[in-house]
Amino acid sequence: MQHGSIKVENNENILVLLSGPEPQRTILERLLTKQLLQSQVEATMVLGSGKPNHLEHNGKLKIISLATSAQTEELILNASMVICRPGYSTIMDLSAIGGKALFIPTPGQTEQEYLADYHMNKGTVLSVSQDDFDIKINLQDAFSYKGFLPMNPGRLLQQKFELTGMNS
């Protein structure tokens, strides 16, 4: 292991999902881009803005402008860790799919701060404020949390049938 590198599980496959209001989305993008490039961790960052399916590579960092729901689901399934805002829909996606996450609540978004604290207190995820985030420390710590367990696939299928009216 090189000096200053981070030990990450599952081939260092980190997924960053950016979302939220400006300017905070861009502030987090810049912070995470800088820290990921310095850490040499293999990661994919979905910006949530720009041209659909635009792809860039910057060393071990792959940047995707926009991803479809199916692409995002596949990225989450293949990630060893998801770094994201703890928005309600993101938490619901993680609850359905399963996986480990590291939450960075949007400053001033009290509902995100509440949800992040709630899940951290349950031992599900690590939550770190944007101002205190340090990938060299926080990423390793986040792996010690249990993560989200995927929902029962039969239950998900039943819910899908109920939503589409195909259960009769």
CATH number at residue 67: 3.40.50.2000
Q: How many domains does the chain have?
A: 1
Q: Residue 55: inside a domain, yes or no?
A: yes
Strand 55-58 and strand 61-64: the pairing is antiparallel
pTM of the model: 0.83
Q: Residue 80 phi/psi, 5° resolution?
A: -85, -20
pLDDT in tens, 62-87: 999 998 888 999 999 999 999 999 99
**C-alpha span between 58 and 77 (Å, rounded):** 23
The one-letter amino acid code at 109 reads Q
Q: Residue 136: inside a domain, yes or no?
A: yes
Tokens of 26: 């861009």
- Contact call for residues 104 and 84 (beta carbons, < 8 A): yes
Range of 53's domain?
10-164
pLDDT in tens, 115-124: 999 999 999 9
